[in-house]
Amino acid sequence: MCGIVGVLARAPANQTIYDALLLLQHRGQQAAGIATDSDSVFAMHKANGLVTDVFRTRNMRSLRGSAGIGHCSCAAYGPSCDEEAQPFYVNAPFGITLAHNGWLSNGDALRAELSLAGRRHMNTASDAEVLLNVLAHELYVACRGMDFTAEALFEAVGALQSRVQGSYAVVALIAGRGLLAFRDPQGVRPLCLGMQPPDDGAGVMVASESVALDGMGYGFVRDIAPGEAVFINAAGELEASQLAADAAARPCAFEFVSLARPDSVIDGASVYAARLKLGELLAGQVCSELDAAALDVVMPVDDISRPAAIQLALKLGVKYREGFIQNRYPGRSFDLPAGAARRAPGLRLNAIAAEFKDKRVLLVEDAIVDGASSREIVELARSAGASYVALASTAPPVLQPMAYGVDWPARRKPAALGRTREEMRSAVTADALVFQTLPALKAAIASASPALQQLETSCFDAPQANT
């Protein structure tokens, strides 16, 4: 999961991109980068760390120009070096810099193909560098020795879509020409378009989530459609082309469960409304598996699960309380030698003991991935005095460690992989464990936007059965 943003305006773009990345920081805290274009000269700064750590005044002053792209990334494959941070750059044809959110299922095959047939060398393991080189190659072919045109650019993106498999939302700058944005034919990862009013500069922004548009004063225009490419030239003129004949919206369900901010709207669906419905439907599952009347209190584990927990408590008629307080400034987690002490869970959450003492508590979590954090949370509730701790997940069991559209580090083996429900309950040390059903998850998201009848749910769809 990553956050991307692209801006083309009349004023300097660096501060706007920086502020938009702050609004998208929840999508990735591993690395950040910005590239800008000033009179066909690119400037770029990127490094590991939070947005506020990566950029200093001297860096921002060097990022000149009224067009630019930005990226914040998560650690999908564990620790990385600064060179793996995005955006990436190639000088031919025309000069392109690109940032990407997603995961390529044929990335390794493309890398080998580009090296052997295209004579293109890639210096990192990043899928974004693969995408950039595929785009550069196809744009070179599409121009056929002629000058740049929007039609040639769209032809290149169409050829890219026929070669690349997986999920991708992309922003790119073509030096001196303009800003490009496109999505994969299934629209697994979100990308939306916004514009400033003419009186405010008539700038254009594309971003992973609508919250970035809202915060920066860009009015939401629409989502970029699955399989569509949008190009805004240096004069601010927008052209769009639907390039995939078989395009169909199939956004990642995890965006609505936990990845996106609740104040965002993705493919016409309010994330907040979807999470409220997840809580409402989860209440029915809780009633079918537990004695709800015996519960004293319902509590969210964190901010993400709060909307669902509130609605669940209302449906059950059980008191809602805030039992955990999040530490929003936990600092960096360093790569330490084997055997080094694990960071204490209290650095992330602290329990209000009075809310737990002698209570029968139902904790609500957005999803249970590897089970380690869930176990720590249950133990924290017990240490605070809870007499009974049940755990309810707004998502079904996660059955695959690396799903199409959701890519976790390999070290995080899903708790549900190869385990029965009782074994999972024992692993997280809860007195009871309740999961949302997959049909209920799909129904909750569809309730926020009836057009979303298909979703990317492969992480919940592994063939094994859990009883």
Position 399, amino acid:
L
Query: Measuring CA to CA, which residue among 56, 59, 58 is closest to residue 68?
Result: 59
* Catalytic residue list contains 2: yes
User: Which entry of 2, 72, 74, 459 is annotated as an active-site residue?
Assistant: 2
Q: Cα angle vertex 64, ends 62, 70, to 5°?
A: 90
At 337, list the tokens.
Answer: 């030698």
Longest dimension (CA), the chain: 76
Contact 105, 40 (CB under 8 A): no
Cβ-contact 374, 394 below 8 angstroms = no
CA distances from 140 to 71, 145, 353 (A): 25, 8, 64
Residues 9, 67: Cα–Cα separation, whole Å: 6
Distances (CA, A) of 363 to 259, 280, 296, 444: 19, 15, 11, 20
d(CA 327, CA 410): 27
Q: Residue 226, Cβ neighbours under 10 Å: how many?
A: 24
Is the bond into 93 cis (omega within 30 degrees of 0)? yes
Cβ(309)–Cβ(299) below 8 Å? yes
Q: Is-contact 401 248, C-beta < 8 A?
A: no
| Region for residue 107 given its phi and psi (left: phi exceeds 0; alpha: psi -120 to 50; beta: otherwise) | alpha
Rounded to an integer, what distance in angstroms lies between the CA atom of residue 293 and that of residue 360?
A: 10
Cis status of the peptide bond prior to 226, with omega within 30 of 0: no
Known catalytic residues are 2
